[in-house]
Amino acid sequence: MSIDFTMPPQVLELRDRVRAFIHEEIEPAESRMQKTGQWREGIIELRRKARQRGLWLPHMPPEFGGLGLGPLGIAMISAECGRNRLAPFLVNCQAPDEGNMHTLLHFATPAQKEKYLGPLCEGRVRSCFAMTEPEVAGSDPTQIQTHAEKQGDNWVINGHKWFISGAHGAKFAIVIARTDPDADPPQARNSAFIVDLPNPGFEIVRDIDTMAGRGNHCEIRFNNCVVPADAMLGPRGQGHTLGQVRLGPARLAHCMRWIGNAEVALEMMLKRAMERQVQVGKLIDKQAIQFKISESVMELYQSKLMVLHSAYLIENKLPFRQEVSMAKHHVANTLWRIVDRAIQIHGALGYSTDTPLESMLRHARSARLVDGADEVHMTQIARHAIEAYKRDGSTRAATGGVDLL
Protein backbone atom coordinates (compact mmCIF):
# COMPACT_ATOMS: atom_id res chain seq x y z
CA MET A 1 0.00 0.00 0.00
CA SER A 2 1.31 3.46 -0.82
CA ILE A 3 0.67 6.23 1.67
CA ASP A 4 0.22 9.83 0.68
CA PHE A 5 0.39 12.38 3.50
CA THR A 6 0.45 15.37 1.15
CA MET A 7 -1.59 18.14 2.73
CA PRO A 8 -3.57 20.47 0.48
CA PRO A 9 -2.15 24.04 0.54
CA GLN A 10 -5.29 25.33 2.30
CA VAL A 11 -4.68 22.95 5.24
CA LEU A 12 -1.06 24.12 5.54
CA GLU A 13 -2.25 27.71 5.40
CA LEU A 14 -4.86 26.97 8.09
CA ARG A 15 -2.19 25.35 10.29
CA ASP A 16 -0.12 28.56 10.00
CA ARG A 17 -3.13 30.65 10.95
CA VAL A 18 -3.76 28.47 14.05
CA ARG A 19 -0.07 28.90 14.97
CA ALA A 20 -0.36 32.67 14.56
CA PHE A 21 -3.55 32.75 16.63
CA ILE A 22 -1.80 30.94 19.48
CA HIS A 23 1.18 33.32 19.44
CA GLU A 24 -0.60 36.58 18.70
CA GLU A 25 -3.78 36.18 20.72
CA ILE A 26 -3.91 33.21 23.09
CA GLU A 27 -0.52 33.45 24.76
CA PRO A 28 -0.74 37.19 25.58
CA ALA A 29 -4.37 36.80 26.72
CA GLU A 30 -3.40 33.83 28.91
CA SER A 31 -0.79 35.94 30.75
CA ARG A 32 -3.36 38.72 31.22
CA MET A 33 -6.04 36.30 32.48
CA GLN A 34 -3.57 34.72 34.90
CA LYS A 35 -2.96 38.16 36.42
CA THR A 36 -6.56 39.44 36.44
CA GLY A 37 -8.37 36.12 37.04
CA GLN A 38 -10.93 37.18 34.40
CA TRP A 39 -10.93 33.87 32.55
CA ARG A 40 -14.56 33.77 31.49
CA GLU A 41 -14.57 37.13 29.70
CA GLY A 42 -11.16 36.43 28.17
CA ILE A 43 -12.20 33.06 26.82
CA ILE A 44 -15.45 34.38 25.33
CA GLU A 45 -13.43 37.08 23.56
CA LEU A 46 -10.85 34.57 22.29
CA ARG A 47 -13.59 32.30 20.95
CA ARG A 48 -15.03 35.28 19.10
CA LYS A 49 -11.60 35.97 17.60
CA ALA A 50 -11.16 32.32 16.60
CA ARG A 51 -14.39 32.54 14.60
CA GLN A 52 -13.37 35.85 13.10
CA ARG A 53 -10.08 34.29 11.95
CA GLY A 54 -11.93 31.36 10.34
CA LEU A 55 -10.57 28.73 12.73
CA TRP A 56 -13.85 27.51 14.21
CA LEU A 57 -14.78 23.80 14.17
CA PRO A 58 -12.02 22.34 11.98
CA HIS A 59 -13.46 18.83 12.30
CA MET A 60 -17.08 19.45 11.26
CA PRO A 61 -18.67 19.73 7.81
CA PRO A 62 -19.57 23.19 6.47
CA GLU A 63 -23.33 22.61 6.89
CA PHE A 64 -22.70 22.69 10.66
CA GLY A 65 -20.47 25.74 10.44
CA GLY A 66 -17.23 23.75 10.32
CA LEU A 67 -14.18 23.88 8.09
CA GLY A 68 -14.88 20.44 6.61
CA LEU A 69 -11.39 18.99 7.06
CA GLY A 70 -10.81 15.27 6.59
CA PRO A 71 -8.99 13.18 9.23
CA LEU A 72 -5.52 14.09 7.85
CA GLY A 73 -6.26 17.82 7.98
CA ILE A 74 -7.76 17.42 11.45
CA ALA A 75 -4.60 15.62 12.55
CA MET A 76 -2.49 18.58 11.54
CA ILE A 77 -4.74 21.25 13.07
CA SER A 78 -5.34 19.31 16.31
CA ALA A 79 -1.62 18.74 16.81
CA GLU A 80 -1.06 22.48 16.41
CA CYS A 81 -3.85 23.17 18.90
CA GLY A 82 -2.24 20.67 21.30
CA ARG A 83 0.61 23.15 21.77
CA ASN A 84 -1.64 25.31 23.94
CA ARG A 85 -4.02 23.99 26.59
CA LEU A 86 -6.78 26.50 25.73
CA ALA A 87 -6.57 26.28 21.95
CA PRO A 88 -8.81 23.19 21.42
CA PHE A 89 -11.65 24.80 23.39
CA LEU A 90 -11.18 28.13 21.63
CA VAL A 91 -11.72 26.57 18.19
CA ASN A 92 -14.45 24.28 19.61
CA CYS A 93 -12.76 20.92 19.04
CA GLN A 94 -12.17 19.92 22.67
CA ALA A 95 -12.97 16.60 24.35
CA PRO A 96 -15.59 15.36 25.01
CA ASP A 97 -17.62 17.70 22.76
CA GLU A 98 -15.60 16.83 19.69
CA GLY A 99 -16.33 13.09 20.12
CA ASN A 100 -19.98 13.86 20.84
CA MET A 101 -20.24 15.94 17.68
CA HIS A 102 -18.92 13.03 15.60
CA THR A 103 -21.33 10.68 17.39
CA LEU A 104 -24.33 12.92 16.76
CA LEU A 105 -23.31 13.47 13.15
CA HIS A 106 -23.22 9.70 12.69
CA PHE A 107 -26.20 8.51 14.74
CA ALA A 108 -28.60 11.39 15.47
CA THR A 109 -31.97 11.83 13.77
CA PRO A 110 -32.54 15.16 11.94
CA ALA A 111 -34.54 16.41 14.96
CA GLN A 112 -31.76 15.41 17.37
CA LYS A 113 -29.17 17.09 15.16
CA GLU A 114 -31.16 20.30 15.19
CA LYS A 115 -31.70 20.24 18.95
CA TYR A 116 -28.23 19.09 20.11
CA LEU A 117 -25.63 19.17 17.36
CA GLY A 118 -26.49 22.67 16.09
CA PRO A 119 -26.03 24.44 19.46
CA LEU A 120 -22.92 22.34 20.22
CA CYS A 121 -21.34 23.39 16.93
CA GLU A 122 -22.27 27.00 17.50
CA GLY A 123 -20.47 26.83 20.84
CA ARG A 124 -23.62 27.83 22.74
CA VAL A 125 -23.63 24.66 24.87
CA ARG A 126 -21.29 21.96 26.17
CA SER A 127 -21.96 18.24 26.59
CA CYS A 128 -20.61 15.11 28.29
CA PHE A 129 -20.36 11.40 27.55
CA ALA A 130 -21.29 8.99 30.35
CA MET A 131 -20.14 5.41 30.02
CA THR A 132 -17.64 4.46 32.78
CA GLU A 133 -18.90 3.13 36.15
CA PRO A 134 -17.03 2.71 39.43
CA GLU A 135 -18.46 -0.75 40.20
CA VAL A 136 -17.45 -2.52 36.96
CA ALA A 137 -14.42 -2.41 34.67
CA GLY A 138 -14.66 0.52 32.28
CA SER A 139 -12.46 -1.50 29.95
CA ASP A 140 -15.32 -3.93 29.39
CA PRO A 141 -18.50 -1.98 28.53
CA THR A 142 -20.54 -5.20 28.32
CA GLN A 143 -20.57 -5.11 32.15
CA ILE A 144 -22.36 -1.73 32.34
CA GLN A 145 -24.95 -1.79 35.14
CA THR A 146 -26.72 1.51 34.55
CA HIS A 147 -30.03 0.43 33.11
CA ALA A 148 -32.98 1.98 31.30
CA GLU A 149 -36.50 0.55 31.61
CA LYS A 150 -39.34 1.34 29.25
CA GLN A 151 -42.31 2.82 31.14
CA GLY A 152 -45.14 3.83 28.81
CA ASP A 153 -43.69 6.24 26.26
CA ASN A 154 -40.65 7.01 28.40
CA TRP A 155 -37.40 5.42 29.49
CA VAL A 156 -36.36 5.54 33.14
CA ILE A 157 -32.61 5.45 33.76
CA ASN A 158 -30.97 4.37 37.03
CA GLY A 159 -27.30 3.88 37.72
CA HIS A 160 -23.94 5.23 38.77
CA LYS A 161 -21.19 6.68 36.55
CA TRP A 162 -17.90 8.37 37.20
CA PHE A 163 -15.11 10.29 35.51
CA ILE A 164 -17.69 11.99 33.34
CA SER A 165 -15.66 14.83 31.85
CA GLY A 166 -17.40 18.16 31.46
CA ALA A 167 -20.55 17.10 33.38
CA HIS A 168 -20.77 20.34 35.37
CA GLY A 169 -22.32 22.89 33.05
CA ALA A 170 -23.17 20.40 30.30
CA LYS A 171 -26.48 21.01 28.53
CA PHE A 172 -26.88 17.34 27.68
CA ALA A 173 -25.25 13.97 28.31
CA ILE A 174 -24.90 11.03 25.95
CA VAL A 175 -25.45 8.08 28.30
CA ILE A 176 -24.78 4.40 27.70
CA ALA A 177 -27.26 2.21 29.58
CA ARG A 178 -28.36 -1.40 29.54
CA THR A 179 -31.75 -1.87 27.84
CA ASP A 180 -31.60 -5.55 26.86
CA PRO A 181 -29.94 -7.54 29.67
CA ASP A 182 -30.47 -10.93 27.99
CA ALA A 183 -29.30 -9.98 24.50
CA ASP A 184 -26.73 -12.23 22.90
CA PRO A 185 -24.01 -11.24 22.13
CA PRO A 186 -23.51 -9.11 25.26
CA GLN A 187 -22.41 -6.21 23.02
CA ALA A 188 -26.10 -5.85 22.04
CA ARG A 189 -27.27 -5.17 25.62
CA ASN A 190 -26.63 -1.44 25.76
CA SER A 191 -28.28 1.54 24.10
CA ALA A 192 -27.39 5.23 24.04
CA PHE A 193 -29.64 8.05 25.25
CA ILE A 194 -29.45 11.81 25.15
CA VAL A 195 -30.35 13.28 28.54
CA ASP A 196 -31.23 16.98 28.76
CA LEU A 197 -29.47 18.75 31.62
CA PRO A 198 -30.02 19.89 34.27
CA ASN A 199 -32.44 17.11 35.11
CA PRO A 200 -33.97 16.13 38.47
CA GLY A 201 -32.88 12.52 37.85
CA PHE A 202 -29.24 13.47 37.13
CA GLU A 203 -27.27 14.05 40.31
CA ILE A 204 -23.69 15.30 40.28
CA VAL A 205 -22.24 13.66 43.40
CA ARG A 206 -18.84 15.36 43.17
CA ASP A 207 -16.13 16.75 40.93
CA ILE A 208 -13.48 14.07 41.51
CA ASP A 209 -10.13 15.20 42.88
CA THR A 210 -7.43 13.76 40.63
CA MET A 211 -3.64 13.93 40.56
CA ALA A 212 -4.07 16.83 38.14
CA GLY A 213 -6.55 18.60 40.44
CA ARG A 214 -10.25 19.02 39.74
CA GLY A 215 -10.91 18.91 36.02
CA ASN A 216 -14.71 18.59 35.95
CA HIS A 217 -14.47 14.77 35.82
CA CYS A 218 -17.62 14.04 37.81
CA GLU A 219 -19.27 11.22 39.68
CA ILE A 220 -22.93 11.00 38.63
CA ARG A 221 -26.04 9.19 39.85
CA PHE A 222 -29.08 8.57 37.70
CA ASN A 223 -32.05 8.46 40.07
CA ASN A 224 -35.19 7.54 38.14
CA CYS A 225 -34.09 9.83 35.35
CA VAL A 226 -37.01 10.02 32.90
CA VAL A 227 -36.37 10.62 29.21
CA PRO A 228 -38.81 10.39 26.28
CA ALA A 229 -38.66 7.54 23.75
CA ASP A 230 -37.09 9.82 21.14
CA ALA A 231 -34.13 10.42 23.47
CA MET A 232 -32.60 7.16 22.26
CA LEU A 233 -29.54 7.87 20.11
CA GLY A 234 -29.03 5.35 17.33
CA PRO A 235 -30.85 2.00 17.21
CA ARG A 236 -31.71 0.02 20.34
CA GLY A 237 -28.92 -2.34 21.35
CA GLN A 238 -26.31 -0.31 19.46
CA GLY A 239 -24.76 1.44 22.48
CA HIS A 240 -21.60 -0.62 22.20
CA THR A 241 -21.21 0.03 18.46
CA LEU A 242 -21.81 3.73 19.05
CA GLY A 243 -19.05 3.76 21.66
CA GLN A 244 -16.66 2.05 19.23
CA VAL A 245 -17.52 4.35 16.32
CA ARG A 246 -17.07 7.33 18.64
CA LEU A 247 -13.80 6.13 20.10
CA GLY A 248 -11.94 5.51 16.80
CA PRO A 249 -11.65 9.15 15.68
CA ALA A 250 -11.82 10.48 19.29
CA ARG A 251 -8.78 8.40 20.29
CA LEU A 252 -6.89 9.77 17.34
CA ALA A 253 -7.94 13.33 18.17
CA HIS A 254 -6.45 12.85 21.66
CA CYS A 255 -3.22 11.54 20.10
CA MET A 256 -2.95 14.58 17.87
CA ARG A 257 -3.22 16.95 20.81
CA TRP A 258 -0.71 14.87 22.78
CA ILE A 259 1.76 15.21 19.90
CA GLY A 260 1.48 19.01 20.18
CA ASN A 261 2.07 18.69 23.95
CA ALA A 262 5.08 16.43 23.49
CA GLU A 263 6.57 18.81 20.94
CA VAL A 264 6.37 21.69 23.43
CA ALA A 265 8.17 19.54 26.06
CA LEU A 266 10.86 18.57 23.54
CA GLU A 267 11.45 22.21 22.61
CA MET A 268 11.70 23.15 26.29
CA MET A 269 14.20 20.31 26.74
CA LEU A 270 16.41 21.70 23.96
CA LYS A 271 16.15 25.32 25.09
CA ARG A 272 17.16 24.45 28.64
CA ALA A 273 19.99 22.15 27.56
CA MET A 274 21.39 24.87 25.28
CA GLU A 275 21.30 27.49 28.04
CA ARG A 276 22.45 25.51 31.06
CA GLN A 277 26.14 25.71 31.86
CA VAL A 278 27.75 22.71 33.60
CA GLN A 279 31.39 21.67 34.03
CA VAL A 280 33.16 22.31 30.74
CA GLY A 281 30.31 23.38 28.52
CA LYS A 282 26.59 23.36 28.23
CA LEU A 283 24.22 20.50 29.02
CA ILE A 284 23.56 20.13 25.30
CA ASP A 285 27.20 19.07 24.78
CA LYS A 286 26.80 16.01 27.03
CA GLN A 287 26.14 12.75 25.29
CA ALA A 288 23.83 11.56 28.08
CA ILE A 289 21.62 14.59 27.42
CA GLN A 290 21.85 14.23 23.65
CA PHE A 291 20.59 10.64 24.00
CA LYS A 292 17.51 11.85 25.88
CA ILE A 293 16.91 14.34 23.08
CA SER A 294 17.45 11.83 20.29
CA GLU A 295 15.21 9.22 21.92
CA SER A 296 12.50 11.86 22.23
CA VAL A 297 12.96 13.01 18.63
CA MET A 298 12.68 9.44 17.31
CA GLU A 299 9.64 8.65 19.43
CA LEU A 300 7.91 11.85 18.37
CA TYR A 301 8.64 11.09 14.72
CA GLN A 302 7.19 7.58 15.13
CA SER A 303 4.16 9.13 16.82
CA LYS A 304 3.56 11.53 13.96
CA LEU A 305 3.85 8.79 11.35
CA MET A 306 1.52 6.49 13.27
CA VAL A 307 -1.11 9.19 13.71
CA LEU A 308 -0.86 10.33 10.10
CA HIS A 309 -1.13 6.75 8.86
CA SER A 310 -4.19 6.10 11.04
CA ALA A 311 -5.78 9.34 9.82
CA TYR A 312 -4.97 8.33 6.24
CA LEU A 313 -6.73 4.99 6.74
CA ILE A 314 -9.81 6.64 8.23
CA GLU A 315 -9.85 9.25 5.45
CA ASN A 316 -9.67 6.54 2.79
CA LYS A 317 -12.30 4.37 4.48
CA LEU A 318 -9.85 1.52 5.08
CA PRO A 319 -9.78 -0.67 8.24
CA PHE A 320 -8.09 1.37 10.96
CA ARG A 321 -8.63 -0.23 14.40
CA GLN A 322 -5.22 -1.89 14.68
CA GLU A 323 -3.34 1.23 13.59
CA VAL A 324 -5.39 3.52 15.89
CA SER A 325 -4.74 1.15 18.84
CA MET A 326 -1.00 1.18 18.13
CA ALA A 327 -0.96 4.96 17.71
CA LYS A 328 -2.98 5.52 20.89
CA HIS A 329 -0.68 3.33 22.98
CA HIS A 330 2.52 4.69 21.44
CA VAL A 331 1.65 8.40 21.61
CA ALA A 332 0.33 8.20 25.20
CA ASN A 333 3.55 6.56 26.38
CA THR A 334 5.74 8.84 24.25
CA LEU A 335 4.12 11.90 25.81
CA TRP A 336 4.81 10.56 29.29
CA ARG A 337 8.47 9.77 28.50
CA ILE A 338 9.24 13.05 26.72
CA VAL A 339 7.74 15.20 29.48
CA ASP A 340 9.61 13.12 32.08
CA ARG A 341 12.91 13.60 30.22
CA ALA A 342 12.25 17.35 29.93
CA ILE A 343 11.76 17.48 33.72
CA GLN A 344 15.02 15.59 34.23
CA ILE A 345 16.94 18.04 32.03
CA HIS A 346 15.40 20.99 33.91
CA GLY A 347 16.61 19.53 37.24
CA ALA A 348 14.93 21.04 40.32
CA LEU A 349 13.30 23.67 38.10
CA GLY A 350 11.49 20.85 36.28
CA TYR A 351 10.15 19.55 39.60
CA SER A 352 8.94 23.02 40.58
CA THR A 353 5.70 24.62 39.46
CA ASP A 354 7.65 27.47 37.80
CA THR A 355 7.41 25.73 34.40
CA PRO A 356 4.35 23.97 32.91
CA LEU A 357 6.22 20.64 32.86
CA GLU A 358 5.02 19.26 36.20
CA SER A 359 1.41 19.99 35.26
CA MET A 360 1.98 18.42 31.82
CA LEU A 361 3.32 15.27 33.50
CA ARG A 362 0.35 14.98 35.86
CA HIS A 363 -2.09 15.42 32.97
CA ALA A 364 -0.08 13.07 30.74
CA ARG A 365 -0.59 10.19 33.17
CA SER A 366 -4.27 9.95 32.27
CA ALA A 367 -3.37 9.41 28.59
CA ARG A 368 -2.42 5.81 29.38
CA LEU A 369 -5.89 5.18 30.88
CA VAL A 370 -8.46 7.12 28.85
CA ASP A 371 -9.86 5.80 25.57
CA GLY A 372 -8.66 2.31 26.42
CA ALA A 373 -5.92 1.51 28.92
CA ASP A 374 -2.49 0.48 27.59
CA GLU A 375 -3.07 -3.21 28.28
CA VAL A 376 -6.42 -3.27 26.48
CA HIS A 377 -4.83 -1.88 23.33
CA MET A 378 -1.89 -4.27 23.64
CA THR A 379 -4.28 -7.21 23.90
CA GLN A 380 -6.08 -6.01 20.74
CA ILE A 381 -2.80 -5.47 18.91
CA ALA A 382 -1.55 -8.96 19.77
CA ARG A 383 -4.92 -10.49 18.80
CA HIS A 384 -4.71 -8.89 15.35
CA ALA A 385 -1.12 -10.11 14.95
CA ILE A 386 -2.10 -13.68 15.89
CA GLU A 387 -5.07 -13.60 13.51
CA ALA A 388 -2.94 -12.23 10.67
CA TYR A 389 -0.28 -14.86 11.22
CA LYS A 390 -2.81 -17.71 11.33
CA ARG A 391 -4.57 -16.39 8.22
CA ASP A 392 -1.62 -15.24 6.07
CA GLY A 393 1.39 -16.95 7.62
CA SER A 394 2.69 -13.37 8.02
CA THR A 395 2.22 -10.50 10.47
CA ARG A 396 2.29 -7.93 7.63
CA ALA A 397 -1.40 -7.03 7.86
CA ALA A 398 -1.05 -6.38 11.59
CA THR A 399 1.96 -4.10 11.25
CA GLY A 400 0.30 -1.32 9.33
CA GLY A 401 -0.13 -3.28 6.09
CA VAL A 402 2.78 -1.25 4.77
CA ASP A 403 4.60 -2.95 1.89
CA LEU A 404 8.27 -3.17 2.76
CA LEU A 405 8.76 -6.88 2.22
Which of 31, 139, 244, 290 touches ligand FAD by CB under 6 A? 139
Q: Report d(CA 327, CA 60) in Å as an integer.
A: 23
**Min CB(339)–ligand FAD separation in Å:** 16
Which one, 239 or 350, has the nearer CB to ligand FAD? Answer: 239
Is 376 a binding residue for ligand FAD by CB under 6 A? The answer is: yes
Q: Which residues does 323 contact at the CB level (< 8 Å), separation at least 6?
A: 306, 309, 310, 313, 400
**Alpha-carbon distances, residue 198 vs 81, 167, 221, 233 (angstroms):** 31, 10, 13, 19
Is 366 a binding residue for ligand FAD by CB under 6 A? The answer is: yes
Is 59 a binding residue for ligand FAD by CB under 6 A? The answer is: no
Q: Which residues does 312 contact at the CB level (< 8 Å), separation at least 6?
A: 3, 4, 5, 71, 72
Which one, 217 or 330, has the nearer CB to ligand FAD? Answer: 217
Residue type, 186: P
Q: Report d(CA 120, CA 161) in Å as an integer.
A: 23
Contacts to ligand FAD from residues 332-361, by CB under 6 A: none
Is 370 a binding residue for ligand FAD by CB under 6 A? The answer is: yes
Which residue, among 297, 298, 300, 323, has the nearest Cα to 312 in the 3D structure?
323
Which one, 203 or 295, has the nearer CB to ligand FAD? Answer: 203
Q: Report d(CA 57, CA 59) in Å as an integer.
A: 5
**Min CB(227)–ligand FAD separation in Å:** 18
Which one, 191 or 366, has the nearer CB to ligand FAD? Answer: 366
Is 129 a binding residue for ligand FAD by CB under 6 A? The answer is: yes
**Min CB(259)–ligand FAD separation in Å:** 18
Is 163 a binding residue for ligand FAD by CB under 6 A? The answer is: yes
Contacts to ligand FAD from residues 180-219, by CB under 6 A: 217
**With 0-12 CB in 10 A as exposed, 13-18 as middle and 19+ as buried, what is 189?**
buried
Q: Do residues 356 and 31 lie in contact, with contact meaning Cβ atoms separated by under 8 Å?
A: no
Residue range at the interface with ligand FAD (CB under 6 A); choices 20-28, 66-74, 346-354, 363-371: 363-371
Which one, 16 or 375, has the nearer CB to ligand FAD? Answer: 375
Residue type, 304: K
Which one, 297 or 385, has the nearer CB to ligand FAD? Answer: 385
Distance, first Cα to last Cα, the chain: 11
Q: Report d(CA 101, CA 120) in Å as an integer.
A: 7
Residue range at the interface with ligand FAD (CB under 6 A); choices 161-169, 177-185, 263-271, 281-289: 161-169
Helix (H), strand (E) at residue 277: strand 277-278
Which one, 102 or 217, has the nearer CB to ligand FAD? Answer: 217
Is 248 a binding residue for ligand FAD by CB under 6 A? The answer is: no
Is 143 a binding residue for ligand FAD by CB under 6 A? The answer is: no
Residue 262: CB atoms within 10 Å: 28
Task: Report the half-sphere exposure of 86 (CA within 13 A, side-chain side).
Answer: 22
Q: Report d(CA 241, CA 103) in Å as an integer.
A: 11
Which of 3, 297, 373, 385 touches ligand FAD by CB under 6 A? 373
Which one, 42 or 249, has the nearer CB to ligand FAD? Answer: 249
**Min CB(85)–ligand FAD separation in Å:** 14
Is 239 a binding residue for ligand FAD by CB under 6 A? The answer is: no
Which one, 30 or 98, has the nearer CB to ligand FAD? Answer: 98
Residue range at the interface with ligand FAD (CB under 6 A); choices 185-193, 228-236, 330-338, 369-377: 369-377
Long-range contact pairs involving 45-48 (C-beta distance under 8 Å, separation at least 24) = 46/86, 46/90, 47/89, 47/90, 47/92, 47/123
Which one, 24 or 209, has the nearer CB to ligand FAD? Answer: 209
User: Which residues of this protein are in contact with ligand FAD, per CB under 6 A?
Assistant: 96, 129-132, 137-139, 163-165, 217, 366, 369-370, 373, 375-376, 379
